[in-house]
Structures are given as C-alpha cells and as structure tokens.
Amino acid sequence: MATTTMAAALGSGLRRALEDDPRVVLLGEDIGRLGGVFRVTDGLQRDFGLDRVMDTPLAEAGIMGVAVGLAYRGFRPVVEIQFDGFVYPALDQMVTQVGRLHYRTGGTVRMPITIRIPYGGGIGAVEHHSESPEAYFAHTPGLRVVTCASPQDAHTMIRQAIACDDPVVFFEPKRRYWTKGDVDDVALDDALPLDRARVVVEGTDVTLVAYGPLVVTARDAALAAADDGVSVEVVDLRSLSPLDLSTVEQSVRKTGRLVVTHEAQRSGGLGAEIAAGITERCFPVLSAAPVRVTGFDTPYPPAKLEEHFLPDLDRLLDAVDQVLGRQHSLTGWSA
Amino acid sequence: MLRSDVSNGRAPVREHDPAPHDPLPAPDWGEMLQLLSPDGTRHPDPVYDPWVEDVDDDALLALYEDMVVSRRFDVEAVALQRQGQLGLWPPLLGQEAAQIGSARTLRPDDFVFTSYRENGVAYCRGASPVDLVRVWRGNALAGWDPRAIGMATPQVMIGAQTLHATGYALGCVRDGVDSVAVAYFGDGATSKGDVHEAMVFAATFAAPVVFFCQNNQWAISEPVGLQAHRPLADRAPGYGIPSVRVDGNDVLAVMAATRVALDRARRGEGPTFVEAVTYRMGPHTTSDDPTRYADPEVRAQWAAKDPIVRVEQHLHARGALSEERTQEVKEKAEAFAMQMREATYGMTAPEPLTVFDHVLVEPSAELERQRSQYAAYLAMFGGEG
C-alpha cells in the first residue's frame, strides 16, 4: 500500500497497463516529454519509448481517428484529450466511428480505445478548461463512460478501462488530481467491475448519488447531515454509461429519497436519467420527488463565478432537507 | 515526377482566381500522367514504364476483365435499386480504371479504407456478390468481415477513413511489417478537416499510407472547383507529402502511380498522395438527379475517354483480345451480376431482436432489459419474440 495523489495513481495505472500488454499505446498532446499538462504520464515516454507514448500533432479528431486505425490493427490505444473543452473536434470520430464500429461490423471489429479526459471545474481556469461533457458520451451507444473519485479507483479503473474490449471514455476529475489516498495494487479479477456503482457511505434516510469530483463533497455532506441526525447514504456512481441503476435502486428502496448531483448542466444531464430511471423502478416507495443539484443551464462561467455554478456542501444539504420535507431554500426559513 | 514541392507541377496561373461562389465546373488543371491515351495508344514514359513493364497481355486482360465485371455488376445494382430490391446504390460508372488499377496493385496483407463508392475495389479484395449488396438492401451496416478481405467497412462519413488508414499504417510500422494502408476518398473529402489531419499525422510520422484520391469532379452537385482552386495533388507537398496527378481513366497509369506510392511506403519513405482524375458518369447515388447540375456536353467529352474502351482498343492493337476471350469476359461479368441479383432476392430480413446485438462486447444490463421488454412486446402479437 502506498499513499499517493490521484494523478500519480493514474500514472502508475497507465504504467502497469503498458507493462502488462505490449499492444497498449498512448497518444496525446504533450504527454511525452512534458508528461502531460497535469503530469499524469510523467516518465512514461522515457521508459516505454516514442512508439508507445506518442506526442501527437494538435488535432483531436486526428488523434481519435488514428486511434481507430490502430485499434483496427489490433492495438489498444489510450488517448489523452488535454482538457474537457477540447474534446469536441473529436466528438465526430467518437460518435460516428468509435462507438459504432463493433455494432457496424456485427461484432467482428473491436475498438478497445480508452479516452482519458480531465474534466470538471473548481480550479479557477479559463474558458473551455472546466467542462463536464459526460452526457454527450453517455447518450452515445457503444461507448462506456466512467469516472473515478479516489486515487484507488483511479489506479484500478484506468487499468480496467484499458483491459476492456469496448471503448471507454475515462473522465478524470481534475480538481481531485492532487487529493491523496491509499492505493493498493488490486488484481483486476478481484476489483469491483468497471460498470458497477459503489456505496461509499451507508445511510438510511436519503440516497445521495454523486460521481467524480462531487463524491468527496457528497461524503462531506453526509458527515454534516449526520451531525444533524440525518443518515445519508452516498453512492459513487463510477459508471455513467451503462448506469448501475440496480445499486441506486437498492439504496432508494431503503431510504425512499433520492438526491442526485453533478457539475454538468441540468437539462438532459445524467441526473435526469437517474431520477427518471429510479422513479420508474421505485415510484411506490418514494417519499419525495427526486431532487437534482447540478450546474446551471449556462455555459461554464468565469472563474470568479464558478463557486456559484458548482454544487457544494450547502446546496447538497439544502436538497437533503428538501427530500426530507424540512424547511429549505425554496420554502423559506420561518421560525 | 512526383510533386515533391509546390514549384513542381504547378497548374498554370490563371489571370484571376474565380470567386468562391463561382466554381469552375470542369477545370483544366494541366498535366497528368497518362500511359494509354483514350484511343488506346501507348505513350512511352521513361519514369513510369518500368513500374508496369511486367504487365503483359495476360495481366492487361485480367485488368480488362475486372473493369468489365465491375461495370456490369454496378449496372446490375442500379437496376436492382430501380426495381426496389436495393434501397440505394452509389454507382462507380466511369471510375473502373481508377479503382481496378489501384486495387490490383495491392497485396493481401495491405489494408484499404474506402468510401462507399469503391465497389470495384471491394470486388478486387474478394468481396462476394452478396457482400456487395448487403448494406444497400438495408440488411446490415457492413457487407463483410473487414479482416477477412483486408478492407474496412466502407465509410459513409466523408473523409473519416483517411485517419483510420493513417492509424492502421502506424500500427504496421509498430508491428515491423511492410504492409501498407490505402485510403480511398474523393475530391469533396479533400475539404474535410479529417483529411487534413490525416495528412499532417501521416507526414509527421512517415506513415506507410497511400492517399488515393479519386477526383471524379463531383461531390453530389458540387463541382471540384468549389473544393479547390488548384489541382488537388498540389495540396500534398504543403504537408511534405509527394504527390502525382494521374489520368484516372488509364488503368496502366493508375497502376504505375500506385506502385510508386506503395513502394515508397514499403521502403519506409512515408505517405504519397495520388490524384486520379476521372469523372463520375452516373449520379452521386440512385437518389440523385445530375440533370439538375451536370452539363451533358462535359459528360459526353468524358464518355469519349472511357477507361474500358481504351484498354479494349489497346488490346486489339496488340492482337491480344480474341473474340473468344471477349465472350468469356462478358460471360463472367454476366454470371457475377446474376449471382448478385439472386443473392439480393435470396436475402432474408434480419431477426428483429438482432437490433440489440453487438453494441458492446459485453451487453449492458440496461440494454438486456430493453431487449427482453421488446421481446415481451413482440410476443404479445404472437411473434417468436
């Protein structure tokens, strides 16, 4: 066991994948000599060479299309998109090619491509560096979409993603890159499968579903709620597509109340899908309508406004109050 | 002979370039490689002759046969579409030499990534009659197993496959083999960002890829003058990629140019761009109506440069095309077309629940749920579900 940052845990996971399978190749902008703008790939080009860790031209569609060709040839490309907001030129290749080639070819051509995307806000960045575009990909058939919330999951899940025969969009919560935690080298066979959610805090009153950067916030909210006598169960979704609604359903059947949170804009977001799916499955046992705590339906705002855009501990607690039928921001605080 | 820089093989400078909204319908962009003129006369070419010196009577007859077969099944497919048996067909009429001349230079271990019009290429790679119609009848999204014939599923998204070819080529280098990836695309695709990025990547990493552009003068209704104000082959040197402009209706010239490109790739010298100048004699697809935009006089001029007629005349001049052989070729083409027709009629619609197959390698629980719910729904009508 070692205590390490999430960025380093991802790096060591990538290193293990490169060691374990000679068909794994990394492609991206600045991932070689520089080690990536977040240093996730630090030292990998030095140790595995130019053929396996490639600095590419500045062309996201090109990176993605070249990865498709490499996968056709039997490689396992791991693509880094430098920032969330830079993925859009690659969206075409991801939607029209990566997500469909297995279906198109009746299962004869696999696309075991891992697409790493640092995402989310909270780092005071300029425009296009704080986005949460996961819903686009979760809406696209044929792509798996996952995100990690801890160094341990980062390390294990990146290895699982690369070993997976399907394309995996791997969202890395960039504001948690420097969060430290214990990391074990878990055998992939023993790890929780990539498409499963995990209950990270057990509780009985409210189910709080979070993923990526907001899992830490949700855990903090559960602690704060406990001080107030409210037992919050936190589910770390991990897989955004396919969704592990069974795990969420199991929790909601116990609590009867659901709060979902994500940084991404609300409309058409994952929260809507989870709320709808859980309502379909659990309507008779729900004590309150599900509540979403999300970014607003605005473009990502300038850094000095992002604290208002991003869900935080207090907004989560307000939503917990709402599903519990307590006074909350919309009812007002009468004495 | 290859255009290795922009000063080499430039088109004549026009007095003023036309405005973007005033495209030239059939620009005359100067010199191109030609070994067989439209009347079948063989031109000697000191640079390219050595690349086709092995093409004897038999080899030329084989190319002739492939072109005749391709034209025949293409005509058959159009007829099948007109009869409602196929949903759509993109005719290759007029492009037989460009497709056969290039595809017949390839080795089985090479891999081609094409658009949807390269049915002549698919035929050369080994696609069967039924393989060629599966997609166009709407029965499947792919006609064949790509790895079985070294040819990717034809690409509908314009130009996307040029990147796939480049990536595949980089994989060949990593595997230490001298196989080559060939990207087939059209003049319209040269405007796409993917094609630009593919050439950037290929040049940067010296990928063993051949960019084979069939300039058939049309992107549906848009003439090539709307895509470019200079020969398409002129674009490549800007990337550091040598290029050649070849008469795409001359099967020998196409073969020679492609062999030069393949040879460069196999020797580790990186990508080459081949512009095969041809003409789309048919509509974009069976849904298109070229009478709304194409000048019949221009078409007639191109009809006089027919790729099959010139080989026929050349073979006659060599005394290599007997009556019997002509008849054999005709019968083979007829037989292939009839197999295609019978295969089309014999095709059964896919089972309803196969709509759920192969989305992911391991199906998701949610999709399995949708499958079983839909099966139950179908069962309600007494179907098998």
CB of A175 closer than 8 Å to CB of A121: yes
Q: Inter-chain contact A72–B164, Cβ cutoff 8 Å?
A: yes
Return d(Cα A11, Cα A41) in angstroms, integer: 5
What's the gap in Å between the CA of B60 and the closest CA on chain A?
Answer: 33
Q: Which residue is listed with tokens 């490169």?
A: A18
Q: What is the pLDDT of residue B384?
A: 53
Tell me how far the alpha carbon of residue B165 is from its chain's centroid.
Answer: 14
User: Which position among A102, A128, A129, A262 bears the catalytic label?
Assistant: A129
Residues of A in contact with B165 (CB under 8 A): 69
Q: Per the CB < 8 Å rule, is A103 touching B174?
A: no
pLDDT of residue B30: 66
Does residue A61 form part of some domain?
yes
A174 shares a domain with A42: yes
Q: Residues B82-87: what's their mean pLDDT?
A: 97
Of the candidates B162, B197, B205, the beta carbon closest to that of A59 is on: B197
Determine whether A129 is an active site residue: yes
Q: Do B141 and A105 touch (CB under 8 A)?
A: yes
Mean pLDDT value of segment B324-331 = 97
Q: Is A256 on the interface with B (CB under 8 A)?
A: no
A332 touches chain B (CB under 8 A): no
Q: How far is A73 from chain B (nearest CA, A)?
A: 6
For chain A, how many structural domains are there in total?
A: 2
- What CATH number does the domain containing A216 carry? 3.40.50.920
Q: Which of A190, A216, A235 marks a domain boundary? A: A190
Nearest to A62 among B153, B163, B174 (CB): B163
Task: State residue A278 phi and psi, 5-degree precision.
Answer: -75, -35
Measure in Å the smallest separation between the Cα of B195 and chain A Cα atoms.
Answer: 9
- List chain A residues with CB under 8 Å of B153: 101, 104-105, 109
Q: Which residues of B79-98 are buried (b: 16+ CB within 10 A; e: fewer)?
A: ebbeeebbeebbbbbbbbbb
Q: Is the domain of A141 the same as that of A272?
A: no
Q: Is A331 contained in some domain?
A: no
| Mean pLDDT calculated for residue range B333-349 | 97
Of B121, B122, B119, nearest in space to B81 by CA: B119
Residues A97, B142: C-beta atoms closer than 8 Å: no
Asked if residue A226 and residue A153 are part of one domain, the reply reads no
CA B47 to chain centre: 25
Q: How many CB atoms lie within 10 A of CB B192?
A: 20
Chain A hits for B204, CB-CB cut-off 8 Å, are: 57
Active-site residue set of B: 280, 284, 293
Name the token pair of B322: 């007997």
Residue range of the domain that includes A291: 198-323
Hey, are the CB atoms on A108 and B142 less than 8 Å from each other?
A: yes
Rounded to 10 degrees, the C-alpha dihedral A322/A325/A326/A330 comes to 50
Closest in B111, B174, B359 to A103, CB measured: B359
If asked whether residues A79 and A122 sit together in one domain, one would say: yes
Q: Note the pLDDT of residue B3.
A: 73
Q: How many residues are given for chain B?
A: 385
Nearest to A294 by CA among A272, A279, A322: A272
The C-alpha of B234 sits at a distance from chain A's nearest C-alpha, in angstroms, of 21
Report the residue of chain A nearest B361, measured CA to CA.
A166
Are the C-beta atoms of residues B238 and B200 closer than 8 Å to each other?
A: no
Question: Within a domain: residue A334?
Answer: no
Q: What is the C-alpha separation between B138 and B349, in angstroms, rounded?
A: 9
**B334 alpha-carbon distance from chain centroid:** 22
- B174/A61 CB distance under 8 A: no
Asked if A92 and B174 come within 8 Å (Cβ–Cβ), the reply is no
For B146, the closest of A59, A65, A109 (CB atoms) is: A109
* Cα distance between residue A197 and residue A139, in whole Å: 18
**DSSP for residue A292:** E
CATH of the domain at A107: 3.40.50.970
Residue A328 lies in a domain: no
Min mean pLDDT across B14-18, B286-290, B332-336 is at B14-18
Does A29 reach chain B within 8 Å, measured CB to CB? no
Q: Which of A78, A93, A105 to mutate to test the interface with B (most CBs of B within 10 A)?
A: A105
Closest by Cβ to B361, choosing from A67, A102, A104: A102
Give the minimum alpha-carbon distance from A160 to chain B in angstroms, rounded to a whole number: 14
Q: Is residue A303 part of a domain?
A: yes
Domain shared by A185 and A55, yes or no: yes
Q: How far is B320 from chain A (nearest CA, A)?
A: 42
Question: Mean pLDDT, to the nearest integer, of B251-280?
Answer: 98
Residue of B nearest to A99 (CA): B359
In a domain, A330, yes or no: no
* Residue B289: pLDDT over 90: yes
Predicted pLDDT of residue B22: 44
Task: In whole angstroms, give the CA distance from residue B266 to residue B271.
Answer: 10
Query: Do the Cβ atoms of B190 and B252 come closer than 8 Å?
Result: no
Show which residues on chain B lie within 8 Å of chain A, measured between beta carbons: 111, 113, 140-142, 145-147, 152-153, 157, 160, 162-175, 181, 193-194, 197-198, 200-201, 204-205, 357-362, 364-367
Give the CATH H-level superfamily of domain B49-349: Thiamin diphosphate (ThDP)-binding fold, Pyr/PP domains (3.40.50.970)
Q: Are residues A59 and B200, on separate chains, in Cβ contact within 8 Å?
A: yes
Q: Does A279 lie in the same domain as A202?
A: yes
Residues A225 and A186 grouped into a single domain: no
Of A72, A141, A246, the CB nearest to B152: A72
Residue ending a domain, choose from A174, A190, A206: A190
Residues A41 and A173 grouped into a single domain: yes
Report the residue from B193, B362, B366 with minimal CB separation from A61.
B193
Q: Is A110 on the interface with B (CB under 8 A)?
A: yes
Q: At what angle do helices A270-282 and A245-255 cross, to 10 degrees?
A: 60
User: Cα separations (Å) of B63 from A332, B77, B97, B325?
Assistant: 83, 21, 8, 13
Cα separation of A150 and A168, whole Å? 18
Disruptive mutation site among A52, A60, A73 for chain B (greatest number of B CBs within 10 Å): A73
Please indicate, yes or no, whether residues A69 and A203 belong to a single structural domain of this protein: no
A89 touches chain B (CB under 8 A): yes
pLDDT for B206 beyond 50: yes
Same domain, A206 and A268: yes
* Domain locations in chain B as residue ranges: 49-349, 351-385
Judgement on whether residues A317 and A186 belong to the same structural domain of the protein: no
Q: Residue B276: CB partners within 8 Å, gap ≥ 6?
A: B98, B102, B212, B213, B214, B215, B246, B247, B248, B254, B257
Do residues A141 and A259 both lie within one domain?
no
Q: Which amino acid is at A151?
A: P
Return averaged pLDDT per consecutive 10 residues of chain A, 335 residues in all.
95 98 98 97 98 98 98 98 97 98 98 98 97 98 98 98 98 97 95 98 98 98 98 98 98 98 98 98 98 98 98 98 95 77
